[in-house]
Structure 1
Amino acid sequence: MKEKEVVYVVSDSVGDTAELMVKAVASQFNGGEVEIEHISYVGDKSDLDNVLDSAKESRSIIAYTLVIPDLKQYLDERAKVEGITAVDLMNPLMEAFSKQFNKDPKREPRLMRKLDDNYFKRVAAVEFAVKYDDGQDVRGIQKADIVLIGVSRTSKTPLSMYLAHKRYKVANVPLVPEVRPPEELFQISKNKCVGLVITPDKLNEIRKERLKNLGLKVANYAELDRILIELEYAEKIMKRIGCPIINVSNKAVEETADLLLAMLKKRGVGFRE
């Protein structure tokens, strides 16, 4: 009876990378008929002892991605003593990085998983910004990390999207004199709400250009008198809420975002790193 061929995939993280590499190599030998034993989140030497004890009893290989130096050294030394084939899948490339780029690795497990988590949080934040853009659903006000308020064309949407890519869940609400603002604006902490204002002449210029791009004639929307009424109304709402206010005139979205986050941090609002 043929002795089964086993590869123990050992990692101080999930071990997905190591498993994919083992499968890629195995596919070159008789269609990849090899048994893979997955040992993830190795945290101490006792975890390695269990693997080594099993490996020496069978015809097997240990393929590992261990970035913690003590664990790697222990595995290498014990494998040599026991006559077990142990292959380091990560360290040769890390050493090449260090030598070629003159940098030291962090030697921290699960960094790749942290990057993945950041990616999914960013996606969730972007989806949130789209769902709660322009006051579409006032329920987002309570759930948001940041709530932006202001009249039309004060960069609420692009700012929401920019902050979403930094993993902040942002809702934005337009302020229009004829529409009563949602009560939720007055129920949330004033520190997570930010008002956006702009000079009348700049807003007049932006709105005229907007209508031009849409192929429309100048309307009440872009008239200076109407703009003055809207801005006065918006500032009254912002003062009633007591939220910080940023003048976005001639500011890039990135500049406004940096100013906004610094302002909220100064007010004691805690944000994720």
Structure 2
Amino acid sequence: MSATAMPASPRLATWFHVHLVSDSTGETLNTLLKATAARFETAKPLEHVASLVRSHVQLDKVLARIEQAPGLVMYTIVDAGMRRRLEVKCAELQVPAISVLDPLLNAFADYLGLEQTMRAGGQYELDEDYFRRIAAIDYTLAHDDGQMTWDLESAEVVLVGVSRTSKTPTCMYLANRGIKAANVPLVPTSDPPPELPGLRKPLVVGLTASPDRLSSIRASRMTNLAATQDVESYTEQSAVRAEVQKAKRYFASNQWPVIDVTRRSVEETAAKILTLLSARRGGAE
């Protein structure tokens, strides 16, 4: 037998059915499924989504699908009778039925000493929070990519960075959380907007990334756009490296916090910004 180590054989994916049953939009279930499945490298869920399930007729169809393709069931159902039917059917089929919010709801109820509001989709009511999110989205769209820099003082967060540092998607994520976010690109051929250093109300955050990573992303973008002009200055590694270093010096001169997005998802970057914003507001209080 050869002493040479044999290459490890690739692990086969484990496919499984998972039913997401909700009397609301199902976004909570979808998020929790993705977060949980990510912990199991070879697990590949086959999703069956049933949202806005609010009648027994709708539930009948869901139960039929679960019977046809048995698998793990994750649910958020408020109605006690419908919950009971779902749980009984899952017990008959010997598949897990998980009410994903129950542990949190019970903990809140015990801690607060309050009754739960038994209302499906309560988080999507047209209340003050909803209209704040809509206003934040409108603001962010109007202040994207360096637009309306004269109005940046009204922002809650301003992101500054060179091209392709995820400024726009991060701003949109924050806007969906009700945060008025603007972003300003740093362009090598132009000076930064003069309004930036004087901002006092917004949290200004510099976004940076590895020059190698930026160069690769930019080159891919140019290929997709079939661009032919100024490609070298936009994608060449030495030029990108100089651009990134210049941006870092600018951030430091203004004493702004800096986030390296090279290995961060948009969600992780936004979470860091929300932490900085919370700390800033706490210090102001």
Which TM-score bucket, shorter chain as reference? 0.5 to 0.7
The match for 2:197 among 149, 167, 186 is: 186
Deviation string for 1:72-100 (max 9, x for gaps)? xxxxxxxxxxxxxxxxxxxxx97768988
Q: Which amino acid aligns with 2:241?
A: L
Greater shift in the superposed pair: 186-195 or 94-103: 94-103
Counterparts in 2 of 1:231 and 1:269: CA distance versus 1, 3 Å: farther
Corresponding residue SS for 2:159: strand
Q: Distance in 1 between matches of 2:243 and 2:201?
A: 21
What's the TM-score, normalizing by structure 2? 0.55
Kindly indicate whether residue 256 of structure 2 is the aligned counterpart of residue 246 of structure 1.
Answer: no
Give the RMSD, CA atoms, in angstroms. 3.1
Q: Distance in 2 between matches of 1:197 and 1:190?
A: 22
Tell me the equivalent position of 1:141.
Answer: 152
Counterparts in 2 of 1:151 and 1:238: CA distance versus 1, 3 Å: same
Tell me the equivalent position of 1:115.
Answer: 125
Q: Which amino acid aligns with 2:125?
A: L
Corresponding residue SS for 1:154: coil
Counterparts in 2 of 1:270 and 1:211: CA distance versus 1, 3 Å: farther
- The count of residues paired between Structure 1 and Structure 2 equals 178
What's the TM-score, normalizing by structure 1? 0.57
The match for 1:259 among 269, 272, 275 is: 272
Kindly indicate whether residue 218 of structure 2 is the aligned counterpart of residue 200 of structure 1.
Answer: no
Quick one: percent identity of the two aligned structures? Answer: 37
Q: Distance in 1 between matches of 2:198 and 2:180?
A: 18
Q: Which runs of 5+ in 1 are unaligned?
A: 1-92
Corresponding residue SS for 2:125: helix
Q: Which runs of 5+ in 2 are unaligned?
A: 1-77, 86-98, 107-113
Contact 2:157–2:181, Cα closer than 8 Å, also in 1: yes
Counterparts in 2 of 1:98 and 1:189: CA distance versus 1, 3 Å: farther
Q: Distance in 1 between matches of 2:254 and 2:115?
A: 48
Counterparts in 2 of 1:115 and 1:240: CA distance versus 1, 3 Å: farther
Tell me the CA shift for residue 127 of structure 1.
Answer: 1.1
Tell me the CA shift for residue 190 of structure 1.
Answer: 8.1
Counterparts in 2 of 1:142 and 1:155: CA distance versus 1, 3 Å: same
Counterparts in 2 of 1:215 and 1:107: CA distance versus 1, 3 Å: closer
Q: Which amino acid aligns with 1:106?
A: Q
Tell me the equivalent position of 2:64.
Answer: none
Deviation string for 1:10-48 (max 9, x for gaps)? xxxxxxxxxxxxxxxxxxxxxxxxxxxxxxxxxxxxxxx
Deviation string for 1:88-120 (max 9, x for gaps)? xxxxx97768988887853599x9699313222
Counterparts in 2 of 1:154 and 1:174: CA distance versus 1, 3 Å: same
Question: Which structure has the greater CA radius of gyration?
Answer: 1
Tell me the CA shift for residue 267 of structure 1.
Answer: 3.8
Corresponding residue SS for 1:168: coil
Tell me the equivalent position of 1:171.
Answer: 182
Corresponding residue SS for 2:126: helix
Tell me the CA shift for residue 270 of structure 1.
Answer: 7.6
Contact 1:195–1:243, Cα closer than 8 Å, also in 2: yes
Tell me the CA shift for residue 209 of structure 1.
Answer: 0.6
Q: Which amino acid aligns with 2:165?
A: T
Tell me the equivalent position of 1:228.
Answer: 241
Q: Distance in 2 between matches of 1:269 and 1:175?
A: 30
Counterparts in 2 of 1:207 and 1:258: CA distance versus 1, 3 Å: same
Q: Distance in 2 between matches of 1:191 and 1:143?
A: 7
Greater shift in the superposed pair: 220-229 or 140-149: 220-229
Tell me the CA shift for residue 208 of structure 1.
Answer: 0.6
Contact 1:197–1:231, Cα closer than 8 Å, also in 2: yes
Tell me the equivalent position of 1:162.
Answer: 173
Q: Which amino acid aligns with 2:126?
A: D
Q: Distance in 1 between matches of 2:201 and 2:154?
A: 14
